[in-house]
Amino acid sequence: MEETDFDSDRAAEDYYYSSADDATRDGAVSEDADWNFDSMEEEDLLDSEHAESHKGSDRSYRILKKEDVRQRQEDAIAEVSTVLSVPRPAATILLHRFNWSVSQVHEGWFADEDGVRKSVGFLDHTRPFSDIDASDRITCGICLDPYPPAEIFPAGCGHPFCRECWGGYIRTSINDGPGCLTLRCPEPSCRAAVDRDMIDKLAPSEDEKKKYSEYLLRSYIDENKKIKWCPGPDCECAAEFDAGGGDSWDVSCPCYYSFCWNCLEDAHRPVDCQTVANWISKNKDQSETQLWILARTKPCPKCQRPIEKNMGCMHMTCNPSCGHEFCWTCLGDWNNHNSCNGYNGTDAMEVDKHRKKANKYVAKYAHYYERWAANDLLRQLALATLHRMQTEQLTRLSSVQGKAENDLWFITEAWAQIVDCRRALKWTYVYGYYLSENEGAKRRLFEFLKGEAETGLERLQECADKELQQFLDDDGPSKYFEEFNAKLKGLTAVTRTYFEKLIKALENGLSEVQTTGTSGEED
């Protein structure tokens, strides 16, 4: 038996309600409680709106919009161009070569300028056709047609190509992807760089120029170790983390997508990145299907195909292609079958033990996976509701209740909290899946805390959904709207507190439980 230095069930209640007291000193978690939060400060009820800088969970980060990224990129190009006395297109190539690090460009350039020039494809040539008469013709190196000097465009290396051939070459390179940022002269043996000025001059359409610019902009983030793009759908923001301590990498983007900066998966507190990777791999692994087959089926003794029993008798007949008839219990040939008394008992016990263990494993995985997936779906639905609230329903509610939309911020705050709680609840099921069966006291505390937080979340969502709907359906202002206002603010604050305490407890390994012994795991 497992021993603890206190009663785990009592401890769970004491821990949970002492945590809840932070927001509900007078028992506000009760269904019948009077929701009066007028005495609470507004900043205690609500988080601040998304801002450029965020601090929390021991780490601070900065959200960069696309315009901010572009400005940083242009500032870096201007600095390198000024310090090294090179044109801006050349500065752009240098920065891309050194992962957009101004300091690395300066260090490399001043240590070995000739080596850097050679590596990036800078060639010190004057215009190769300046001495040729305008009436002369130069043969294009690709199509081999003759052109006047004004219609031939070399990359600074002297290899002649016409506008049309350049256009096809550039279009193909850009459509192939970001590799176009290191484009070189079409001559196979030449390493001369093709800079942005040439792209702007010779690209066949605005679409190619736009794609090139987008690749260039995204490269600033993709090659920067301190900044990453938000992986949210259609989001164009990036997050920059400050150096410093703390274990959390969670980022909340203004698009309401929360993600882990470290692994770019959905934000997954209270579980770590490795656990998330293991869980995702498990969900993709066909071994789970194989275990289900092992637990729920038996192989045909003749063709070895797995067969699931779906009727009451023991007489089994395999698919028509095989047609073998056998006994479900002992797998013996049905045509020569009298009873199962002669079946080897030792083999039967081993098979039964193996099957029970597989059945238990599959049942556990199915339990946690179904709830993990369900909360992920509910999070997506809540996110869609939040978007609909911002774009449609707040305008309707403002008109019906005679309130300014700015005064209805508490509703979007509630739905944003629901989205975040669904995400956290989703990952608590992964935590539960990997929590050792040996730690019974910790498991009881875990289930209690999770259950209470989940109950609070359901209460908040019911208020934000069903109770709000009646005010949207009203024909005019309701005298109960202010009461609803206070209740929803209170529920939002309480739910936030519950989940913060739950996540903190799980991240601390449920250290409130001091285990002094362990019990054996079931077979």
For 470-510, the DSSP string reads HHHH-SS--TTHHHHHHHHHHHHHHHHHHHHHHHHHHHTTS
What torsion do the CA atoms of 491, 501, 261, 265 make, to the nearest 10 degrees?
Answer: -80
Residue 388 makes CB contacts below 8 A (sequence gap 6+) with none
Task: Tell me the Cα Rg of the chain.
Answer: 33
Catalytic residue among 157, 230, 237, 313, which?
313
Structure tokens belonging to residue 94? 């240098």
What torsion do the CA atoms of 445, 493, 275, 234 make, to the nearest 10 degrees?
Answer: 160
**CA 375 from centre of chain:** 15
Element (H, E) at 227: strand 227-229
Query: What gap in Å lies between CA 211 and CA 198, rounded to an integer?
Result: 15
Query: What gap in Å lies between CA 431 and CA 321, rounded to an integer?
Result: 46
- Count, residues in the chain: 523
Query: What gap in Å lies between CA 152 and CA 141, rounded to an integer?
Result: 10
Answer yes or no: 253 catalytic.
no
* Cis peptide bond N-terminal to 270, omega within 30: yes
Residue 271 amino acid letter: V
Query: What gap in Å lies between CA 424 and CA 175, rounded to an integer?
Result: 40
Residue 317 bridge partners (DSSP): 325
In degrees and rounded to multiples of 5, residue 276 shows phi and psi of: -60, -45
Residue 139 bridge partners (DSSP): 146
Residue 333 bridge partners (DSSP): 326
Active site residues: 313
